[in-house]
Amino acid sequence: MPEQLQTPQNRLSKKSVNVWLLDETIENVIGFVVLIVLFFLDYYFDWVNWIGWILIALAVISVLGALWGFIRPSLLYKHWRYDISEEFLQLKFGAIKEEHQLVPMTKIQSVSTKQGPLMRKYDLYSISVQTMGSTHTIQMLDKDVAMELRNRIAHYAKVEEMDE
């Protein structure tokens, strides 16, 4: 009889919400600066009327996107789970459209750790697991958790580490 798989229980780092919020804030500030410059150019050069209406529509969409950007990080954190066993890497995520992925350890070809500038500020890492046809990522793990998880996956899958 096959082994019954449990729902993954391991969570991402609590600091992930701060990183995602900071990332969203940076993106929104850049977007709003661009919109302000476009509104100024529209006013200064007196562009045709329909360009102003398009800019207003973009501003409304940007405000809605910014509001969503402050809700999304907590939803990501709340619904992201992972687990590993000798047989499978399990990933479960999604608040609206839930996805549960099982990656057999025998299919894993490489495992790598990544750290961008915002993640470095919070001492977080992402782990990427490559198979023949896809890449699976577990984001926002504390350094010690990420390194231990990377080593366990590499051991179970019998692969060598690739730092990028």
Q: Which residue has the tokens 């789970």?
A: 81
Give the domain-ending residue among 60, 77, 94.
Answer: 77
Q: Which residue has the tokens 């350094």?
A: 143
Which helix or strand (DSSP H or E) is residue 96 part of? none
**24 and 73 fall within a common domain:** yes
> Do residues 58 and 35 make contact, with C-beta atoms less than 8 angstroms apart?
yes
In angstroms, the Cα distances linking 38 to 41, 65, 111 are: 5, 18, 44
pTM: 0.87
Please report whether residue 49 resides in a domain: yes
Q: Starting at the edge strand that comes first in sequence, how are the strands of the sheet with 88-93 ordered?
A: 81-84, 88-93, 99-104
- CATH number of the domain bearing residue 115: 2.30.29.30
Q: What φ, ψ does residue 87 adopt, rounded to 5°?
A: -100, -35
> Do residues 98 and 27 make contact, with C-beta atoms less than 8 angstroms apart?
no
**112 and 147 fall within a common domain:** yes
**122 and 151 fall within a common domain:** yes
**56 and 94 fall within a common domain:** no
**87 and 67 fall within a common domain:** no
Question: What is the domain range of residue 150?
Answer: 83-157
**48 and 68 fall within a common domain:** yes
Q: Any idea what DSSP says for residue 161? A: B
Q: Could you tell me how many helices (H) and strands (E) the chain has, helices first?
A: 4, 6
Instruction: Tell me what pLDDT residue 163 has.
Output: 54
Structurally, how many domains does the chain consist of? 2
Instruction: Tell me what pLDDT residue 3 has.
Output: 59
Please report whether residue 133 resides in a domain: yes
Q: Any idea what DSSP says for residue 8? A: P
> Do residues 161 and 150 make contact, with C-beta atoms less than 8 angstroms apart?
yes
Give the domain-ending residue among 34, 62, 77.
Answer: 77
Q: Average pLDDT per run of 10 along the chain, which is 164 residues long?
A: 76 97 97 97 95 96 97 95 95 93 94 96 97 95 96 87 53
Which pair of structure tokens corresponds to residue 106? 């025998």
**105 and 124 fall within a common domain:** yes
**66 and 114 fall within a common domain:** no
